Amino acid sequence: MVDKASRVMTIVGATGAMGKWFIQYFATRGWYVHAFSRSREKLEMLKREIDNSPWKVNVTCTTELQQCVPGSAWIMLSVPITAHEEVIKQVALLARKDAVIFDIASVKGQIPALLARARQDHGIHVMSTHPMYGPGAESMKNKNFILIDLEGDKQVIDRFRAIIEPDKPTILVTTAEDHDRMIAFTLGIPHMLNILFGKLLKDQGADISKLVAFEGTTFHLQHLISQEVVTQEPFIYATIELENQAFIDMLSSFKTISESFIDILKRKDYDGFMKEFMAIKEYFAVVPEFKTVGYRFNSAARRSLDIIKDGKETGN
């Protein structure tokens, strides 16, 4: 028999996009969810959304941490990276000793150390996580879900793994340091390059409607990714770029690489260009999926163009 007290979740920052996603995720699976936000206005809007759902009986909304944290077995922090220090202090003071406090931040930085200190000072349990998908995801099936053990014995992350495993995410256990370095590659650099892509077009005064008329498959997909990036919350994306020291440390290399490649182009160095081109191809070719890159590339473009033609919209 499942202990109901162990299936009570407080989500701090519940009115944000990922907070809302996890409210529905847990509520539809029989959990009782406390949705916390400091903003009464945003909570009222959230209440109206929840009132139209079949799982509304499993959710309460509150602006008072005292009304939700003490009775919760799990406390999820779905707040901006820069807000974690103060939120962790407030939540740790109220949490019961067997509760687990965890974040879902895209960049860890000092968050794991702050959680570890809260464990040391208050005797609560802690871990760090990162769901590698956005609020448009229909489910976590086949999506990467990163878990970081902060207690040394993996007992807490094993408990959390058991909660989400039925929904078949791809679970990766790593360290905070390795997480931020990998995220610099998989989020920091792609976000920056796609923002720069849009900025270059804009600053050159390129007529976007005309460009679309001239586009090929490569431009279509690059444009699509850049468009998707700038539809997101700018402050959240700013924190991913500005708060990850591993990414900041890469920028000097980016500048050197960019200047070197620009020099190759300006000198019309065909040999240098082809050498770099082939070296990158060899680097990518080590993974098995490289063999199907052409098919996947053209299938993605075809699907996108079909949606535009049909005038339809779809989620991630």
pLDDT 10s digits, 109-167:
999 999 999 999 999 999 999 999 999 899 999 999 999 999 999 999 999 999 999 99
Report the relative pairing of strands 74-77 and 100-103 from DSSP bridges.
Answer: parallel
Q: How many domains are contained in the chain?
A: 2
Last residue of a domain, one of 134, 151, 174: 174
Q: C-alpha distances in angstroms, 66 versus 33, 47, 79, 91, 140?
A: 15, 19, 18, 9, 31
CATH number for 54: 3.40.50.720
Compute the CA torsion angle 64, 70, 72, 77 (nearest 10 deg). Answer: 50
- Clarify whether residues 86 and 228 are in a common domain: no
Domain boundary among 174, 200, 223: 174
H helices present in 6-154, as ranges = 17-27, 40-51, 84-94, 111-122
Give the pLDDT score at 5: 76
Q: Taking a C-beta distance cutoff of 8 angstroms, is the pair 253, 184 a contact?
A: no
**Is 163 domain-assigned?**
yes
Q: Do 152 and 21 belong together in one domain?
A: yes
Tell me: do 155 and 187 sit in the same domain: no
Look at the pTM and tell me if it is higher than 0.75.
yes
Torsion of CA 239, 242, 243, 249, to 10 degrees: 150
pLDDT score at 168 = 98
Residues 267 and 195 in one domain: yes
Mean of pLDDT values over 12-35: 96
Tell me what pLDDT residue 312 has: 61
Mean pLDDT on 70-79: 97
Q: Are residues 186 and 259 in the same domain?
A: yes
Clarify whether residues 186 and 140 are in a common domain.
Answer: no
Q: Which DSSP symbol is given to 171?
A: E
Q: Are 153 and 143 in contact (CB under 8 A)?
A: no
Check residue 3 and give its pLDDT: 61
What would the two tokens of residue 165 be?
């495993």
Mean pLDDT within 276-304: 97
What three-state secondary structure class fits 75? strand
pLDDT higher than threshold 70 for residue 24: yes
Based on the domain organization, do 22 and 161 belong to the same domain?
A: yes
Contact 59, 37 (CB under 8 A): no
Distance, CA of 150 to CA of 128 (rounded, Å): 7
Q: Could you count the other beta carbons within 10 Å of the beta carbon of residue 62?
A: 16
